[in-house]
Chains A and B, each alone.
Chain A
Amino acid sequence: MEILGQLIVSGIAVGMIYGVIAFGYQLTFATSKTLNFGQGEALMLGSLVGWSLVAVTGYLLMLPIVLAFGLLQGAIVERLGVRQAIKTKSEAGWIMATIALGIIFRNLAENIWGRDALKFPSPLPEAPLSFAGINVLPMELAIVVGAIAMMVAVEVFNRRSIYGRAVVATAGDRDAAGLVGVNTSLVITFSYALSSLAAAFAGVLIAPVTLTGATMGGVLGLKGFAVAIIGGLSSGFGVVVGGLILGITENLTGFYLSTGYKDVPGLLLLLLVLSLKPSGLFGKAAIKKV
């Protein structure tokens, strides 16, 4: 029982990270029907920028700078990689462009921060807390709390602010939103900025637990993608649940089945979800318009 609890608790921490990255995918998909395939790299960059700053500024002061950096980085990705492709309605265009930008960011990071994994100093004590025999790092709790807080903050912002209404309008029908005076291309840029902000925040949240480094983004980006698809690209609630499902499944499989096949059930689940409900567990099916 203790073991099961421990597996689930660890799975939750990992799953929340997947969820935050998936959340970033959702933000851009809602406005532009495109995804940043370099989302993992946005996370990596945020984390490395944070790593450079944290020694100077301390953890809390570092956060706003990293978030601002995330905004900027996301805006750059949209301007350089996505805008043109949206204009020409080329599916392949934005996929290739965001992958290319991801490659460039990773290579630049290798040259700036080196090729090794780096230790990110933890702002919280590194001694585990123990509840009924289940151990959890204070930082893991911070991940869960921070991830939820960030998603709630973005959701509130989207619902309350005028920008948020523009997002909703753009998500509903880009052309119509444009006709009533919404600057849809600015909305899309901003959604990319927010998406990278989310990723950068995730980067500095998890780095104290997972280490940081130029190659940290790849696997996380793909896992986040899987979660976004499982949960549905249109459901904020879905990514949290999807993240938890994937995180916990991985841990349970690793323990009860075989650590060699740790990733397989999560992916099979994904295939199953998509073949039964193509819009994801919590996604809304779109009505075909003719």
Chain B
Amino acid sequence: MNLFRRSLLAAAAIATLGATQALPAQAADPIKVGLSGPFTGGSASMGVSMRDGVKLAVAEINKAGGVLGRPILLVERDDEARNELGVQIAQELINKEQVVATLGYINTGVALASQRFYQEAEIPVLNNVATGTIISHQFEAPKAEHNFVFRTSAPDIIQSAMIAEEAVVRQGFKAPAILADSSNYGQLGRKDLVAALDKRGVKPVAEEKFNVGDTDMTSQLLKVKQAGADVILTYAIGPELAQIANGMAKLGWKLPMIGSWTLSMATFIDNAGANGDGAMMPQTFIQLPTTPKRKAFIEAYQAAYKIDRIASPVSAAQGYDSVYLLAAAITQAGGTEGDKIRAALEDLNTKVEGVVTTYDRPFSATDHEAITSNIPVFGVVKGGRVVPAHPEDLEGDKALRVKTKG
């Protein structure tokens, strides 16, 4: 009886469990790194892409001998995009698992609620997807002596400035309308967007909200229409963005859509179909083999997870890069002490070749953003994929865009 044998094995496993845990640390004691993101629920597609990118990088590093001769051990936790669960996980990762650093956060709210505990414990956090502008500034001097929060995603302030520039300057729209969801992602983004438009001397003609999960955008769209808007700027996530595009089609009316990076989510592209074509969004990474590193990453990801199109390429790439940045910092620090890793991240003296960019001193003591406004390019939805909106942006040596030093 196979089942019987397996049950016996199971019982044996339980019996030995205590024993294995009591064993003394082995020579190649793994380096524990936390990973927190939503792997179930509405924003899970970003969380899972990020997780898979991270795991891909960790597998590569471990295969190549690890960091400081030690393998990286990921401790994955599903925060379900719930603030209080994120807090609990942060406590667990810090105090129980004793991770040396944590990667992750898709949701700005979870990041804001949780990362204070890393700050207190002096353990670095690398936000690799969440974009709320305030995230990396929550513990800036003078609020704290050292800031332990870093980021490898494009913050809203950059994205909103790019959106405003694209809409007002490059395409000459005069009457933008903003549609944002009522989550803190949407509302914080909306605020940044209004400020960015204001800098360009434009006031949005309408600012409308909807809830995550709403399926009918008629009243919002009619308000936009009545206000005489000529472009729709968005801050929301995939399914609701698709409802906006489809809702416009229903009303027999179409405005160009320009919005935050989430317009590249598969849930928008697939569900809006032809209605979504032409939507534009800033992207740190587009699933195109424009550099050898990108080619290798895409191929490895496709092979590892047996898929063709990455659900959220941006999350996957940023997640992947965040691991290499952390590994480089640990190597440079020569140890796993949180404060040393922070110092190394702030003064990284090796160039890290990533998927998004090549990181050359990406952080400093006062600047914890790896992405500057010159790095993302505009992507546009075309035939079910995101392609560069302005192909000239990625031609020749412009394909690899490196952080500007301010």
Query: Which residues of A does B touch, CB under 8 Å?
Result: 3, 6-7, 10-11, 13-14, 107, 110, 114-119, 126, 128, 130, 135-137, 206, 209-211, 213, 215-216, 218-219, 250-255, 258-260, 262-263
| Contact residues in A for B311 (Cβ distance below 8 Å) | 116
0/1 string, B216-227, CB within 8 A of A gives 1: 101110110010
Structural contact, B222 and A118, CB atoms closer than 8 A: no
Structural contact, A116 and B267, CB atoms closer than 8 A: yes
Chain A nearest Cβ from B252, distance in angstroms = 5
Q: Which residue of A6, A115, A117, A254 contacts B220 across the interface (Cβ within 8 Å)?
A: A254
Structural contact, B267 and A117, CB atoms closer than 8 A: yes
Closest-by-CB residue of B relative to A13 is B216
| Contact residues in B for A218 (Cβ distance below 8 Å) | 213
Tell me if B251 is interfacial: C-beta within 8 Å of chain A. Answer: yes
0/1 string, B248-287, CB within 8 A of A gives 1: 0111100000000000001100110100000000000000
Closest-by-CB residue of B relative to A9 is B218
Structural contact, A7 and B219, CB atoms closer than 8 A: yes
| Contact residues in B for A250 (Cβ distance below 8 Å) | 216, 219
Top-4 shortest CB links A-B: A254-B219, A115-B44, A210-B215, A10-B218
Structural contact, A135 and B239, CB atoms closer than 8 A: no
Closest-by-CB residue of A relative to B238 is A117
Closest-by-CB residue of A relative to B266 is A116
Complex formed: what's the CA distance from A119 to B223 in Å? 26
Complex formed: what's the CA distance from A268 to B222 in Å? 24
Tell me if B332 is interfacial: C-beta within 8 Å of chain A. Answer: no
Complex formed: what's the CA distance from A130 to B251 in Å? 9
Tell me if B354 is interfacial: C-beta within 8 Å of chain A. Answer: no
Structural contact, B210 and A119, CB atoms closer than 8 A: no
Closest-by-CB residue of B relative to A252 is B219
Q: Which residue of B44, B218, B242 contacts A7 across the interface (Cβ within 8 Å)?
A: B218
Chain B nearest Cβ from A109, distance in angstroms = 11
Structural contact, B223 and A255, CB atoms closer than 8 A: yes
| Contact residues in A for B242 (Cβ distance below 8 Å) | 117, 211
Structural contact, A6 and B218, CB atoms closer than 8 A: yes
Closest-by-CB residue of B relative to A222 is B213
Number of interface residues of B (CB under 8 A): 36
- Apart from A116-B311, A219-B211: 18 A-B pairs, beta carbons within 8 A: A7-B218, A14-B215, A115-B41, A115-B42, A116-B238, A117-B242, A128-B249, A128-B251, A135-B252, A210-B216, A213-B239, A251-B218, A252-B219, A253-B219, A254-B218, A260-B209, A262-B209, A262-B211
| Contact residues in B for A259 (Cβ distance below 8 Å) | 208-210, 219-220, 223
Structural contact, A209 and B220, CB atoms closer than 8 A: no
Complex formed: what's the CA distance from A215 to B242 in Å? 15
Structural contact, A118 and B219, CB atoms closer than 8 A: no
Interface centre among A10, A116, A130 (most CB of B within 10 A): A116
Closest-by-CB residue of B relative to A134 is B251
| Contact residues in B for A118 (Cβ distance below 8 Å) | 270-271
| Contact residues in A for B271 (Cβ distance below 8 Å) | 117-119, 211
Interface centre among A10, A115, A135, A263 (most CB of B within 10 A): A115
| Contact residues in B for A107 (Cβ distance below 8 Å) | 40
Closest-by-CB residue of B relative to A206 is B215
Query: Can you pick out 25 interface pairs between chain A and chain B where the beta carbons lie within 8 Å of each other?
Result: A3-B226, A6-B218, A6-B222, A7-B218, A10-B216, A10-B219, A110-B40, A115-B45, A115-B48, A116-B45, A116-B270, A118-B270, A118-B271, A126-B249, A128-B251, A128-B252, A136-B250, A209-B215, A209-B246, A211-B242, A213-B239, A251-B216, A254-B220, A259-B219, A259-B220
Chain B nearest Cβ from A207, distance in angstroms = 10
Complex formed: what's the CA distance from A209 to B273 in Å? 13
Chain B nearest Cβ from A186, distance in angstroms = 35
| Contact residues in A for B40 (Cβ distance below 8 Å) | 107, 110, 115
Tell me if B291 is interfacial: C-beta within 8 Å of chain A. Answer: no
Chain B nearest Cβ from A48, distance in angstroms = 14
Structural contact, B252 and A251, CB atoms closer than 8 A: no
| Contact residues in A for B44 (Cβ distance below 8 Å) | 110, 115-116
| Contact residues in A for B210 (Cβ distance below 8 Å) | 259, 262
Structural contact, B219 and A255, CB atoms closer than 8 A: yes
Closest-by-CB residue of B relative to A130 is B252
| Contact residues in A for B226 (Cβ distance below 8 Å) | 3
Complex formed: what's the CA distance from A263 to B267 in Å? 25
Complex formed: what's the CA distance from A260 to B178 in Å? 13
Structural contact, A255 and B250, CB atoms closer than 8 A: no
Complex formed: what's the CA distance from A107 to B106 in Å? 20
Structural contact, A137 and B250, CB atoms closer than 8 A: yes
| Contact residues in A for B250 (Cβ distance below 8 Å) | 128, 135-137
Closest-by-CB residue of A relative to B218 is A10
Tell me if B364 is interfacial: C-beta within 8 Å of chain A. Answer: no
